[in-house]
Amino acid sequence: MTLRAGLIQLNSSDDPVANLPRTQGLIAQAVGQGAKFVATPEVTNVLSTSRSHQKSVLQHEEQDQTLATLRKQAADLGIWLLIGSIGLLTEDTDGRFANRSFLIDPQGKIKARYDKIHMFDVQVTESETYRESDGYRPGETATLAETPFGTVGMSICYDMRFPHLYRQLAQAGATILTAPAAFSPVTGAAHWHSLLRARAIENGCFVIAPAQTGDHDIRKGKPRSTYGHSLVVDPWGEVLLDAGAEEGAYVVDLDLGQVEVARKRVPSLSHDRPFRLDRG
């Protein structure tokens, strides 16, 4: 079985009202090119560097216009849609947001939701520091969802540096791993392709990683750039799609039988063994 997948590479601003029609247009383009499963990047609704701005524009899940509109679009087009993530207000007393990924079915229903587990609290260079956990409350639940084209294991961005998450997802049946991202340009150039190819190879899974790209239009807060290079990797580790730097809709055909082929050639997923740690 072949699945035509669409990846939406975005250059989101910090204005959710401006971002939404662009995103809808690119989803329609991918579907116009035959995509049956479309995936968008992390923070599809708002890419912001200001907590106070986020507080003023983010919504609770029930009120969020990006979620409601894209659910309707998925239903109208009859497609599966991974909304890489939406920044949302939560009920938390500490006021932290959720960085939440949604898998939407062709009826527009929410099939699965996943809150990013690992927070990007990292000093990337002397002048570039991220403190994701200041604004976001980390999730505590790994998430799988059944689709007609396989079992999808969900993750977001920085999660891709934690291989045991994907191991568990693959051991539990995942054949497609999603890793929507807003990667930093510095770490992206150094690590992006290697991390994603490794996750695909070691688990015998397709990896689908739609990304934010370019210099973002940030009205409130510090400027921000992201790495782009939305990627699709097959279970043997071959890069089937690298979107480069431009915003756009990209489609690629996945031969789903390749999961079984790769796992037959190198069955490492079934060779995990317990071991002790000896400090000598």
- Residues near 140 by Cβ (< 8 Å), separated by ≥ 6? 115, 117
The DSSP-derived string for 251-269 is: EEEEETTHHHHHHHH--GG
* Interaction of residue 218 with ligand KGT, rule CB under 6 A: no
Could you confirm whether 42 is annotated as catalytic? Answer: yes
Token pair 């079934």 in the structure block, residue: 270
Member of 23, 44, 45, 187 binding ligand KGT (CB under 6 A): 187
Min dist CB 183 to ligand KGT, Å, is 4
Could you confirm whether 247 is annotated as catalytic? Answer: no
* Interaction of residue 154 with ligand KGT, rule CB under 6 A: no
Neighbours of 246 (CB within 10 A): 11
| Listed residue (212, 215, 181, 250) closest to 30, CA to CA | 250
Torsion, Cα of 15, 18, 20, 26 (10° steps): -130
Distances (CA, A) of 215 to 63, 86, 157, 190: 29, 19, 18, 19
**Span of 24-32, 58-66, 155-163, 164-172 interacting with ligand KGT by CB under 6 A:** 155-163
**Span of 22-30, 168-176, 181-189, 262-270 interacting with ligand KGT by CB under 6 A:** 181-189
Decide whether 31 or 58 has the Cβ nearer to ligand KGT: 58
Min dist CB 180 to ligand KGT, Å, is 10
Catalytic pick among 55, 62, 111, 116: 116
Tell me which residues touch ligand KGT (CB under 6 A): 42-43, 47-48, 99, 120, 130, 132, 157-158, 161, 182-184, 187
